[in-house]
C-alpha cells in the first residue's frame, strides 16, 4: 500500500458533516464531502485509527480501480484485471455489495454475480481453487458502485458496518443505531459538558445505546475496541503489528478515561427495557459506571447534587396512525419534569415529531435536521432556563406595553383590517369560526384562528422559523403577538391558546377522560361540535374543510356513508345532518372515536344506524372493509400526509401510496356512489392512472374557503366515481 491513499467513508444521511470533522481530527487530509459519504487521503495508520475510533462512520472503503462498464462483459474483464491474490487468498470467504444507478446494468444481484465470477475464475485459473461466498460474515467484502456506467470498485476495510460496536446483546423494538446515538451526543455538545463534570440522564433509555455511547465518549473509549472482526484482518496487506499497537494505545486510554467518567443515569418505565439495557451495559464493560433504574417520566428527578449536565432522550414519535394523541401527555410530562427538576441543565430531544415536542412548553435554543434511517427527525436542544419556558396557561408571557415595537402596531392594524373584512363575510355566510390571520406579515409567522360560541376564543399556532431568523427576535415577536391579539379581539388573555396543554400530575398525565378536559361548543352551518383548545395539537375541527364538510352533507341524503381516518367525526355529523340512512366512522384512535361519538350525540345522532369502528384504516381497507362487508354510497377519505401501518413494509406516504389507498376505498363504493378524497400535503399531485380507472373531478378550488385564500395549497380535494355513472 502507498504511504498515502484515497479512501471513502460512508455515513448515514444527515451525518456527513459530523464525519468530516471527525476524520480531520483523526488525521485525514484533503477531506471532501461526496454523496453518501466523505472522500479523503490518509496513510495506513490513519485508516486503521478511523476504523477503531470513528463514532459516526458506517464503512471505510479503499478504492481499487474505476472503469467503464456498459456491458456485463466489460464489467467482468475490468474486475479480472485486478490481481486479487495481492488482497486475499482462495481460502478466504467473500461477499459482493453492488449498487447501480442510471446505468445499463440495472440489476444489482446480476452485477454482483458478474463481479464474483470474475474474482473466483481468476483464483481457479491460478490455484485450481476458488474462494467461497459468505454474504453474512465474509472475510473480505468488495463494494462496487456503478453510476452512469462508470464503476468504482472498493475493498471494504471495515467489514461489518462500524456502527456495530460489539456490545449489543439485545434491543427493543427500534433501538437507535450506535453511530446515530453518538452523533446525537456530539451535536448536543456532550464532550464539553462531560469535560466540565456534568452528568448525563436518559429518562427513556430503552436498550441503553445513548448511555453506552455517552460513556464511551466521556471516557475516551474507542468505539471499535470491542469488535472482533474487521475487513482488513484477512487483507494480505494488513499490518498486524501496527494494528496491535493501536489497540494497546486504545486500551490504555480507556483505563485512564474511566477514572474521570462523570455520572451517567438511565431510566425506563418498562422492565424489559431495563433488562436489555443492563445486558448491553455489562457487555460493554461499563456496568460499574452506568446506573440504570425503573422510573416513569412523571416521577423523574434530577440526580442528587448534580447541578448541571445533559438530559438526552429519544422518545416515541407516534409514527403509527392514531398514536399521536396517546403520546401528547408523555411529551408534556417530559417538559414539566425538565422545568421543575433540571433548571440549569442542557437537554437534547431527538424526535421524528417536532409538533409533539412543542408540548414540552420550552422553546428550543438550537435544532438540527437528522434522520433515523429514512425517517426525517430533529434534534432539539434546550437551554433549561426560565426565560425559555412557555407559560403554563396560555403560551409565552405577553410583552408589556413598553416592550412593544413598531411591528406590534403593524400586526394590530392587520388584525383589525382582517377582522373587519372577514367579519362581514363570516356574518353574511353564517360562519362562526374562521382563520383570521395566516402569516400575512412574514416576520409574524402565525396562524390565528377565531372561534365564536357563547364566548370568543383564539387558537394561535406559530410556524417554525427558518434558521436565518434570530431566535431572540422571534420570541420577542411572539410575545408582542400574545399582547396584541387579546387587545384587538377584545377578549381575556385566558381565551388565547398557544399550543399549551393542561398540567396534570402522576398517572393523571395519561388519563383520557373527558371530564378532565375543557371542551367548548361551537356551531357551523347548523351542526354543533365540541372543540378543545388546550389538550391536543389540533382543536378537533379543521376549518379549511368547512366547505368540504358541507359538500358531503349535501350529497348524503338517503345514502350509506363511510368516514375513513375520521378524526373527530365532523364529516359524519354533516352526513347525518344531511339525511344519511347510515354512517360508519373509522379511526385508529379511541380518543378521537369517543370525541366523534360525542359530536354525533350533540347533534342528536346516537342510535344504532350510526356505527363506530376503532381500526387501522389501511388494514381495514386491505381486508375489504370488515364491517359486514357492505358497500357505501358516499365515502369521505382524508388520510394523513405521513404515517406508518403494520400492514405496510415501510412508512405510509400519501403522495406515493394514495393510488393504492383510493383503489381500496373504491372497491367499497357502490356503483352509483361518490368518493370524496382530500389531503393536506401542500405539494400533492394525483396519480394520472386514477383518471383512467375512475371518473375524477378536482374540486380543490371549489372547497377552498375565503379565509384560506392566502394559501390555496392548504388542501387538495377530488370527487371520484366509477365510470359507469
Give the pLDDT confidence of 222-247 residue by residue, as tens digits: 999 999 999 999 999 999 999 999 99
pLDDT given at position 513: 28
Let me know the angle formed at the C-alpha of 260 by 258 and 262, rounded to the nearest 5 degrees.
100
Cell of 473: 427576535
Same fold, 178-220+259-388 and 542-721: yes
Q: Which residues of 284-309 are buried (b: 16+ CB within 10 A; e: fewer)?
A: bbbeebbebeebbbbebebeeebeeb
- For residues 457 and 492, the answer to whether their CB atoms sit within 8 Å is no
The pLDDT tens digits for 552-575 are 999 999 999 999 999 999 999 999
The 3-state DSSP class for residue 193 equals helix
Strands (E), 455-500: 456-462, 496-497
Separation of alpha carbons 235 and 249, rounded Å: 22
Give me the residues of the chain with pLDDT under 70, please.
1-2, 171-174, 319-325, 391-397, 464-469, 471, 499-517, 626-629, 644-651, 725
What DSSP state is assigned to residue 494? G
What DSSP state is assigned to residue 26? T
Separation of alpha carbons 503 and 525, rounded Å: 34
Separation of alpha carbons 40 and 118, rounded Å: 29
Separation of alpha carbons 93 and 408, rounded Å: 71
Q: What are the two backbone dihedrals, phi and then psi, of residue 461, each rounded to the nearest 5 degrees?
A: -125, 130
Q: Out of 3.90.580.10, 3.40.50.150, 3.30.300.130, 3.40.50.2020, which CATH number does the structure's domain 542-721 have?
A: 3.40.50.150
pLDDT given at position 588: 87
CATH of domain 393-537: 3.30.750.80
pLDDT given at position 186: 97
pLDDT given at position 329: 84
Separation of alpha carbons 705 and 697, rounded Å: 18
Tell me the pairing of strands 140-147 and 93-101: parallel
Of 180, 138, 148, the C-alpha closest to 162 is 180
What interhelical angle do 570-577 and 546-555 show, nearest 10? 40
Could you give the dihedral angle defined by the CA atoms of residues 109, 110, 112 and 118, in that order, rounded to the nearest 10 degrees? 160
In this structure, the number of other CB atoms found within 10 A of the CB of residue 268 comes to 25
Separation of alpha carbons 544 and 705, rounded Å: 6
Looking from the CA of 308 toward its CB, the CA atoms found within 13 Å total: 11
Cell of 257: 478515561
pLDDT given at position 627: 59
Instruction: Say which residues have a Cβ less than 8 Å from residue 256's Cβ, sequence separation at least 6.
Output: 220
Of 56, 69, 160, the C-alpha closest to 118 is 69
Architecture of the domain made up of 178-220+259-388:
3-Layer(aba) Sandwich (3.40)
Domain 5-156 has CATH 3.30.2130.30: yes
What DSSP state is assigned to residue 198? -
Domain ranges of the chain: 5-156, 178-220+259-388, 393-537, 542-721
Looking from the CA of 491 toward its CB, the CA atoms found within 13 Å total: 19
Please report, for residues 311, 332, 473, 597, the alpha-carbon distance to residue 188 in angstroms, rounded to integers and kept in the order given. 10, 21, 23, 45
Please report, for residues 57, 367, 671, the alpha-carbon distance to residue 633 in angstroms, rounded to integers and kept in the order given. 55, 48, 8
- pTM of the entire predicted model: 0.60
User: What's the start-to-end Cα distance of the chain, in Å?
Assistant: 74
In this structure, the number of other CB atoms found within 10 A of the CB of residue 428 comes to 8
Instruction: Say which residues have a Cβ less than 8 Å from residue 610's Cβ, sequence separation at least 6.
Output: 572, 576, 582, 583, 585, 600
Cell of 435: 382563520
Surface-to-core class of residue 348, CB atoms within 10 Å of its CB (0-12 exposed, 13-18 middle, 19+ buried): buried
Please report, for residues 35, 323, 357, 358, 361, the alpha-carbon distance to residue 377 in angstroms, rounded to integers and kept in the order given. 20, 17, 11, 14, 19
Cell of 648: 405496510
Strands (E), 15-55: 29-34, 37-42
Instruction: Say which residues have a Cβ less than 8 Å from residue 420's Cβ, sequence separation at least 6.
Output: none
Amino acid at each position: 500500500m502507498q504511504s498515502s491513499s484515497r479512501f471513502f467513508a460512508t455515513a448515514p444521511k444527515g451525518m456527513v458533516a459530523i464525519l468530516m470533522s471527525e476524520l480531520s481530527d483523526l488525521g485525514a487530509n484533503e477531506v471532501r464531502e461526496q454523496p453518501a459519504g466523505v472522500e479523503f487521503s490518509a496513510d495506513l495508520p490513519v485508516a486503521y485509527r478511523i476504523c477503531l475510533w470513528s463514532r459516526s462512520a458506517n464503512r471505510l472503503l479503499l478504492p481499487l480501480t474505476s472503469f467503464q462498464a456498459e456491458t456485463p462483459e466489460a464489467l467482468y474483464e475490468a474486475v479480472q484485471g485486478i490481481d486479487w491474490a495481492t488482497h486475499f487468498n482462495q481460502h478466504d470467504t467473500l461477499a459482493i455489495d453492488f449498487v447501480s444507478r442510471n446505468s445499463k446494468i440495472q440489476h444489482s444481484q446480476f452485477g454482483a454475480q458478474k463481479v464474483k465470477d470474475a474474482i473466483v475464475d481468476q483464483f481457479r485459473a491460478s490455484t485450481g481453487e476458488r474462494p467461497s461466498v459468505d454474504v453474512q460474515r465474509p472475510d473480505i467484502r468488495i463494494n462496487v458502485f456503478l453510476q452512469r456506467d462508470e464503476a468504482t470498485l472498493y475493498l471494504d476495510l471495515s467489514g461489518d458496518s462500524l456502527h456495530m460496536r460489539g456490545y449489543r446483546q439485545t434491543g427493543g423494538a427500534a433501538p437507535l443505531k450506535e453511530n446515530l446515538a453518538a452523533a446525537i451526543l456530539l451535536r448536543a455538545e456532550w464532550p464539553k459538558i462531560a469535560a466540565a463534570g456534568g452528568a448525563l440522564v436518559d429518562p427513556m433509555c430503552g436498550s441503553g445505546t445513548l448511555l453506552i455511547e455517552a460513556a464511551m465518549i466521556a471516557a475516551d473509549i474507542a468505539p471499535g475496541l470491542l469488535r472482533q472482526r474487521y475487513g482488513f484482518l484477512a487483507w494480505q496487506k494488513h499490518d498486524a503489528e501496527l494494528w496491535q499497537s493501536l489497540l494497546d494505545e486504545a486500551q490504555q486510554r480507556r483505563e485512564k478515561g474511566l477514572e474521570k467518567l462523570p455520572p451517567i443515569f438511565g431510566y425506563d418505565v418498562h422492565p424489559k427495557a431495563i433488562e436489555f439495557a443492563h445486558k448491553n451495559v455489562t457487555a460493554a464493560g461499563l456496568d460499574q459506571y452506568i446506573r440504570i433504574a425503573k422510573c416513569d417520566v412523571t416521577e423523574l428527578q434530577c440526580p442528587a447534587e448534580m447541578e448541571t449536565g445533559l438530559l438526552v432522550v429519544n422518545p416515541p414519535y407516534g409514527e403509527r396512525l392514531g398514536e399521536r394523541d396517546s403520546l401528547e401527555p408523555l411529551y408534556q410530562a417530559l417538559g414539566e419534569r425538565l422545568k421543575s427538576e433540571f433548571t440549569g441543565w442542557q437537554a437534547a430531544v431527538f424526535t421524528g415529531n417536532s409538533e409533539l415536542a412543542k408540548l414540552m412548553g420550552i422553546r428550543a435554543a438550537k435544532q438540527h435536521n437528522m434522520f433515523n434511517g429514512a425517517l426525517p427527525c430533529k434534534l432539539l436542544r434546550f437551554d433549561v432556563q426560565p426565560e425559555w419556558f412557555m407559560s403554563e396557561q396560555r403560551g409565552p408571557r405577553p410583552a408589556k406595553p413598553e416592550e412593544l415595537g413598531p411591528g406590534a402596531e403593524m400586526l394590530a392594524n392587520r388584525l383589525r383590517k382582517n377582522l373587519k373584512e372577514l367579519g362581514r363575510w363570516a356574518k353574511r355566510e353564517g360562519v362562526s369560526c374562521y382563520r383570521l390571520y395566516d402569516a400575512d406579515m412574514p416576520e409574524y409567522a402565525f396562524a390565528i384562528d377565531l372561534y365564536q360560541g357563547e364566548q370568543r376564543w383564539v387558537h394561535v399556532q406559530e410556524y417554525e422559523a427558518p434558521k436565518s431568523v434570530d431566535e431572540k427576535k422571534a420570541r420577542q415577536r411572539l410575545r408582542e403577538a400574545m399582547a396584541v391579539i387579546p387587545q384587538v379581539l377584545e377578549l381575556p388573555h385566558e381565551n388565547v391558546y398557544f399550543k399549551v396543554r393542561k398540567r396534570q400530575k402522576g398517572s393523571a398525565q395519561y388519563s383520557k377522560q373527558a371530564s378532565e378536559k375543557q371542551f367548548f361548543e361551537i356551531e357551523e352551518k347548523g351542526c354543533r361540535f365540541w372543540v378543545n383548545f388546550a389538550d391536543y395539537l389540533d382543536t378537533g375541527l379543521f376549518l379549511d374543510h368547512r366547505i368540504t364538510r358541507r359538500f358531503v352533507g349535501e350529497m348524503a341524503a338517503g345514502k350509506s356513508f363511510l368516514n375513513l381516518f375520521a378524526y373527530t367525526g365532523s364529516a359524519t355529523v354533516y352526513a347525518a345532518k344531511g339525511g344519511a340512512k347510515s354512517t360508519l366512522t373509522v379511526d385508529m384512535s379511541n380518543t378521537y372515536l369517543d370525541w366523534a361519538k360525542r359530536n354525533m350525540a350533540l347533534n342528536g345522532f346516537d342510535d344504532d344506524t350510526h356505527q363506530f369502528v376503532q381500526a387501522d384504516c389501511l388494514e381495514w381497507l386491505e381486508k375489504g372493509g370488515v364491517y359486514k362487508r357492505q358497500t357505501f354510497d358516499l365515502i369521505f377519505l382524508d388520510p394523513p400526509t405521513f404515517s406508518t401501518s403494520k400492514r405496510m413494509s415501510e412508512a405510509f406516504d400519501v403522495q406515493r401510496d394514495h393510488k393504492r389507498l383510493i383503489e381500496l376505498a373504491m372497491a367499497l363504493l357502490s356503483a352509483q356512489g361518490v368518493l370524496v378524497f382530500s389531503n393536506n400535503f401542500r405539494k400533492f399531485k394525483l396519480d394520472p392512472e386514477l383518471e383512467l380507472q375512475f371518473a375524477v373531478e378536482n374540486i380543490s378550488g371549489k372547497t377552498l374557503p375565503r379565509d384560506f385564500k392566502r394559501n390555496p395549497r392548504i388542501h387538495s380535494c377530488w370527487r371520484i366515481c366509477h365510470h359507469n355513472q
